[in-house]
Amino acid sequence: MAKVKKKAAKGKAKSKASRKARPADKAAKSARKAKAKAKAARAKPAKAKAAKAEPASAKAAKSASEPKAKAAKAKPAKAKPAKAQPAKVAAAAGKATPIIDVGSLAPAFTLKDQSGASVSSDDLRGKPYVLYFYPKDDTSGCTAEACAFRDSSPRFGERGVRVIGVSPDSEASHQRFASKYGLPFTLLSDPEKQLIQAYGAWVEKQNYGRKYMGVQRSTFLVGADGTVQKAWRSVKVPGHVDAVLAAMQS
C-alpha cells in the first residue's frame, strides 16, 4: 500500500510539474510569434518603400519626357503668308475725302470717251473746263443733269469752257446715252474709278438702310492754269447748271 501511495504521489507531482511547464511553453511560443510578427512588420515597410520607389522612376521617366513635350510646344508656329491688303482709296470708311478743292492742281488723267477716243488732261491744258461726276447713265437724276448741261451748252461755248461728264459706265453705255438725249459734250468712261477717287467722289451711300459705295454727284470748274476754281459736292440737280455759269462770270 505504501508503494502504491508513493507512486500516486509521484504521478501527482509530475502532473503538477507538467501543468506548471505548460504556461512557460505558451509564453515561449507567444514570444516567438511576437518576434516573427515584428520581423514581418519590419519587412513590410521595406516592400512599401520599394513600391514607393517605383513611382520615382516613373517620375524620372515623365521628367525626362516633359522637356521633349515642352520643346515640341515651344516650336514656333509657321507664319502664314500675309494676305495682301487692298490699297486704300480716297473715300476710305465710306467718307468722302475732299483731296481736290479750290486752289488744288487738277489731277492728270487719260480716259476714253463715248467714241473710244482717248482724252487726257494734257489735251485740256491752257483752256478752262467743267468736269462733272455722276453715278449712272440714263437714270432719272443723271439724265436731268446731262440735259441741263446740254441745254446750256451754247452759253458754255460762248465762254470757251468745255463740259465733260465722268461716270464708271462703259464707252458703249456712254454712246447710247449721248445718242438718246443728243448730248453734244464729252462723256468719259472711268470703270476703275481712278479719276473719280482722285477727286474724292467715290463715297459710301445709304438707301433705305442699305449701305453701298457709289459716285457722289460732284462738279469742278478747272481754270486755264490747271487749278480748281470752284467745287460743288453732293450736287442737287435743279439750278445746279445755273450756279456753275454764275461762278464762271465771277
Give the pLDDT band of residue 46 (cuts 50, 70, 90). Answer: very low
Q: In sequence order, which residues have a C-beta less than 8 Å from that of residue 122 and are 6 or more positions away?
A: 108
pTM of the complete model: 0.61
Is the separation of the CB atoms in 184 and 201 below 8 Å?
A: no
What is the C-alpha separation between 141 and 9, in angstroms, rounded? 151
Q: In sequence order, which residues have a C-beta less than 8 Å from that of residue 76 and are 6 or more positions away?
A: none
Cell numbers found for residue 108: 492728270
Angle formed by the axes of helices 140-151 and 171-181, nearest 10°: 60
Residue 20 CA: distances (Å) to CA of 3, 13, 24, 32:
26, 10, 7, 19
Architecture of domain 100-249: 3-Layer(aba) Sandwich (3.40)
Question: First CA to last CA across the chain, in angstroms?
Answer: 177
Q: Cα 81 to the chain's mean position, in Å?
A: 14
**Which residues are the active-site residues?**
142
Sign, CA torsion 123/168/129/100: negative
> For residue 206, what pLDDT is reported?
86
> For residue 26, what pLDDT is reported?
57
Cell numbers found for residue 4: 502504491
Of 129 and 32, the structure prediction assigns the larger pLDDT to 129
Query: Is pLDDT above 50 for 245?
Result: yes
3-state secondary structure of 131: strand
Of 112 and 97, the structure prediction assigns the larger pLDDT to 112
What is the C-alpha separation between 130 and 222, in angstroms, rounded? 6
Please report where in the chains the cell 486755264 appears, as a residue.
Answer: 224
Domain ranges in the chain are 100-249
For the stretch 154-205, pLDDT in tens is: 999 999 999 999 999 999 999 999 999 999 999 999 999 999 999 999 999 8
Of 108 and 54, the structure prediction assigns the larger pLDDT to 108
> For residue 177, what pLDDT is reported?
98
What is the C-alpha separation between 100 and 118, in angstroms, rounded? 23
**Among 163, 155, 217, CA closest to 187:** 163
- Element at 180 (helix H, strand E): helix 171-181
Query: Is pLDDT above 80 for 106?
Result: yes
Q: In sequence order, which residues have a C-beta less than 8 Å from that of residue 34 and are 6 or more positions away?
A: none
